[in-house]
Amino acid sequence: MKRSPALLVALAALSLAASLLGGCDGPSVEFHASDTAYTSPQTRLVLERIGTNELSDRPTQKADALRTSALADLRSQGKAASEAADLITSTFPPKTKSVPVYVERATVDGKSSFIIIEAWGPAEGKLDSKRLWVIARGTGDVIYSAATK
């Protein structure tokens, strides 16, 4: 099938725009469906291991857009990751000033859970701190949480 030059130019322009818009501001989320068994205190080791440096200089006012982009990225990583994104969306208020950077499907204290590491910061500051949430799959109950600067 022969395509017109105008159509090819339009497709190229759309592709360029999508790559520029998709890659310029949005963080990626690391997702693992490890099903590793942890105790609540052991999940702090995950918090210590995961960095949020790529977001540490971003103003907290940009968290809404960054969070939306991160959740879209998470949803693109398959069924389990999409389940995690849906749980994050339903558990935390829409205007939460934090951005997920790491999600792991695991068992914590015997409960099927998602471990979530997010960058966050004060209202007028930067996303230079990180937080850990252990959220029960299915219910959204918080099993454990911790934070660090």
Residue 12 has pLDDT above 90, yes or no: no
d(CA 104, CA 114): 5
The string of pLDDT tens digits covering residues 17-69 is 333 344 445 689 999 999 999 999 999 999 999 999 999 999 999 999 999 99
d(CA 54, CA 93): 23
Give the C-alpha separation, 106 to 113, whole Å.
5
pLDDT in tens, 58-80: 999 999 999 999 999 999 999 99
Question: 148 and 129 in contact (C-beta within 8 Å)?
Answer: yes
